[in-house]
Amino acid sequence: MLADLKMPGALEALDDILHGVDSGALTAAEAVETLLNAQIQLRNNRRLQAAMRSSRLPAVKTLADFDFSFQPSIRREQVESLHELGFLERKENVILLGPPGVGKTHIAISLAIAAAQSGRRVYYGTLADLITGLEEAQAAGKLLQRMKVLTHPALLVVDEIGYLPVTRTGATLFFQMIARRYERASTVLTSNKPFEEWGEILGDEVMAAALIDRLLHHCHILSIRGNSYRMRHHTELWQQLHRESPSTSTPPRGGRKTRETPRG
């Protein structure tokens, strides 16, 4: 019957589950739940694989991989509740602000993955890439199609607002795209720059103000303050050195001889 219903995930798990029931390890209710979970897992993985191909997501990052203890400025409950995806239903936006390496892209991707696993269409791009795509489409007379690609997804990630300069035309096209998505679908944006500097990034204060107005109307803002996760090993190394030589308050200078006997 599972084969007939096209439930290969459940079918594969069936023998183990029946064994678990026979040995008394699983109750009937647990067996049903495990069986259905096996199928849901398979379906979610397939959805994720399809989304990874079509959405241009650069990596797989999930909530489970995120170390909240490293980033105390993030409210765990807020991030977890966003992953329940109510904001998508309500067409709200999420804006992640903060310095390099604090996990903005990680959280943006994990929201996109959660959305893809729930069967929604998602799309990812850096601001620079999205604008290049729009400019190229405009030059080729295909702007409308491109706009549709970017306005259709239930979740669009616009990553890295603020790192690369954008052209005036590019900024105008970006504004049009966000205006089309406004109150129709959710956008997750990340930036290393506060809103006051977006006018400078987009080369137009008035347009930036109108853009921010639309984005913030229904929006969750996560402002992350903290250290770069990319640098964590360097911090540990520095602290380790510090612990081993408590008498020195500054890191060892270059050229200083160590006590360790050189090998070889």
Residues that bind ligand ATP (CB under 6 A): 61, 65-67, 70-71, 98, 100-106, 160, 190, 192, 229-230
Task: Answer for the pair 147, 183: CB distance below 8 angstroms, yes or no.
Answer: no
Instruction: Dig out the tokens for 95 from the structure.
Output: 């804006």
Neighbours of 228 (CB within 10 A): 14
How near is the Cβ of 250 to ligand ATP at its closest, in Å? 28
Convert residues 11-30 into a mask of x (bound to Mg ion by CB under 5 A) and - (unbound): --------------------
How far, in Å, CA of 5 to CA of 11, rounded? 10
Q: Which does 101 bind (CB under 5 to 8 A by kind): ligand ATP, Mg ion, none?
A: ligand ATP
Q: Which does 75 bind (CB under 5 to 8 A by kind): ligand ATP, Mg ion, none?
A: none
Q: Which is nearer to Mg ion, 172 or 192 (CB)?
A: 192
Q: Which is nearer to Mg ion, 151 or 160 (CB)?
A: 160
- Residue 144, CA distances (Å) to 21, 84, 168, 174, 255 in order: 57, 32, 19, 13, 62
Q: What is the DSSP letter of 257?
A: P
| 194 contact partners, CB below 8 Å, separation of at least 6 | 97
| 153 contact partners, CB below 8 Å, separation of at least 6 | 55, 120, 121, 122, 123, 185
Interactions with Mg ion, residue window 234-263 (CB under 5 A): none
Q: Which is nearer to ligand ATP, 9 or 98 (CB)?
A: 98
Q: Which is nearer to ligand ATP, 66 or 87 (CB)?
A: 66
Q: Which is nearer to ligand ATP, 73 or 145 (CB)?
A: 73
187 is an interface residue for Mg ion by CB under 5 A: no
How near is the Cβ of 101 to ligand ATP at its closest, in Å? 5
Q: Which is nearer to ligand ATP, 10 or 156 (CB)?
A: 156
How far, in Å, CA of 52 to CA of 124, rounded? 10
- Interface with Mg ion (CB under 5 A), residue total 1
How far, in Å, CA of 201 to CA of 213, rounded? 16
Q: Which does 146 bind (CB under 5 to 8 A by kind): ligand ATP, Mg ion, none?
A: none
Q: Which does 182 bind (CB under 5 to 8 A by kind): Mg ion, ligand ATP, none?
A: none
Residue 187, classed as helix, strand or coil, is strand
Measured in degrees and rounded to the nearest 5, phi and psi for residue 91 equal 55, 40
Residue 221, classed as helix, strand or coil, is strand
Residue 74, classed as helix, strand or coil, is coil
Convert residues 134-173 into a mask of x (bound to Mg ion by CB under 5 A) and - (unbound): ----------------------------------------
Q: Which does 30 bind (CB under 5 to 8 A by kind): Mg ion, ligand ATP, none?
A: none
Q: Which does 61 bind (CB under 5 to 8 A by kind): Mg ion, ligand ATP, none?
A: ligand ATP
Residue 166, classed as helix, strand or coil, is coil
Interactions with Mg ion, residue window 87-116 (CB under 5 A): 105
How far, in Å, CA of 158 to CA of 172, rounded? 15
How far, in Å, CA of 251 to CA of 242, rounded? 7
Judged by the rule CB under 5 A, the positions of this chain that interact with Mg ion are 105
